[in-house]
Structure 1
């Protein structure tokens, strides 16, 4: 980590450590997002930096995460589009959360396209295509395992088409992301 500071390397050069990923919660993910520069968490005390791919993996692996934390993950994908996508896709498949990743990549691509970030959008489109081949048929939530049966039933009817495509129960879409405007 001292080398990354000495040579002013970006956080994508930090180690890809999965040892603690499954134990992260909303607070630890939010702190990691703050250290990556996410504006929505700039008020939080910054901790040591983590590789953005590890932060995304921690976010999509967690079973119950605050929505504002999930909303930040597409921002990470846009801001650090040079992250190690092969590693992230492989790790998401190992944990059966590739649909969560695919959906968030879709949202990130839509925001990148809207903001005219063509190179980022092309990168994300390739990631989307890779995840499409691994899309799971089973229904899942977007890191909201504690949803009630009533909420699940409502989301089945009200979810956006991209959430339906990725078999996720969520009402999140790219237009509702705080940085999408």
Structure 2
């Protein structure tokens, strides 16, 4: 069994389990742990709780009874940010994913996935991973089935809008016309399962792409005076900002040669730059809508 460390899970991603303490052996691979204390803070940082050892042993005790109190932990109140990156396994509970020092997702332990999923208020539908389409054609047909006018002539079984959006964003390379269609989905389906798609985007390190799409959708909603939709979408944007990745990416164009990517990087908008994406796509380039008066008024 060996030793272990303890982690206070104090982040909203743990849902109903927030505030619980769980054991881990991920921080000391050789020894399993040193019985030290850590906290995953509300901001998603893994912090070490600093301490000193003091002799609190009973002077009248003998043998091991005396030895046991000689190294009592006394917490100083100091903390050390671990800047943790990767998966942190939590025994009989699940695992937390950290990217660039911030917790971005939590996966319940498989054996108890249904039970933990209920406590986290995640439905069985939301717990499963979506399938990945085999072609751009399938994605185009999925968009057509959801009502996207550019692919209205294509047919497919109706899929959930959140699944289609995540499938598209998870592609290394995507047809430019499909990429332009993606901001249409949040605008038309603002009540999609955001909890599910945000969690899965974080698991796949696609939160910057998702943030960019929703940000564009929100700006279009403002331009079209769809205030209720804009409010919903900007709340999603605010949530994704907390997990924004520092690494540069493309908007589903990994195959670009270096020269084309450099050009996109130089010409990208402020929104694309904020989400660290090399793309020239803006809301004014969306073929599915005529911004007309909205462009003249200016989109904030």
TM-score category of the 2 structures, normalised to the smaller one? 0.7 to 0.9
Aligned residues: 165
Q: For residues 105-120 of structure 1, what are the structure 2 equivalents within 5 Å?
A: 105-120=214-229
- 8 Å contact from structure 1 (residues 32, 50) kept in 2: yes
1:33 is aligned to 2:181: no
Q: Match for residue 42 of structure 1? A: 152
Q: Match for residue 18 of structure 1? A: 129
Q: Match for residue 239 of structure 2? A: 130
In structure 1, which of residues 67, 71, 92 is the aligned counterpart of residue 180 of structure 2? 71
Q: Deviation per CA, 1:73-102, whole angstroms, max 9, x where unpaired?
A: 111111010100010000000000100000
Q: Which has the higher strand share?
A: 2
Q: Match for residue 80 of structure 1? A: 189
What's the offset of the Cα at 1:19? 4.1
The structure with the larger Rg is 2
In structure 2, which of residues 202, 206, 219 is the aligned counterpart of residue 97 of structure 1? 206
What's the offset of the Cα at 1:156? 1.6
User: RCO higher in 1 or 2 (8 Å CA, sep ≥ 6)?
Assistant: 1
Q: Which has the higher helix share?
A: 1
- 8 Å contact from structure 1 (residues 25, 65) kept in 2: no
What's the offset of the Cα at 1:18? 2.6
In 1, Cα distance between the equivalents of 2:236 and 2:255? Answer: 29
What's the offset of the Cα at 1:120? 0.4
Q: Match for residue 53 of structure 1? A: 162
TM-score normalised over the length of structure 1:
0.88
Task: Tell me the SS of whatever aligns to 1:127.
Answer: helix
Task: Tell me the SS of whatever aligns to 1:157.
Answer: helix
- 8 Å contact from structure 2 (residues 130, 163) kept in 1: no
Q: Match for residue 164 of structure 1? A: 273
Structure 1 segments unaligned to the other structure (5+ residues): 1-14
Structure 2 segments unaligned to the other structure (5+ residues): 1-124, 292-300
Q: Match for residue 284 of structure 2? A: 175
TM-score normalised over the length of structure 2:
0.54
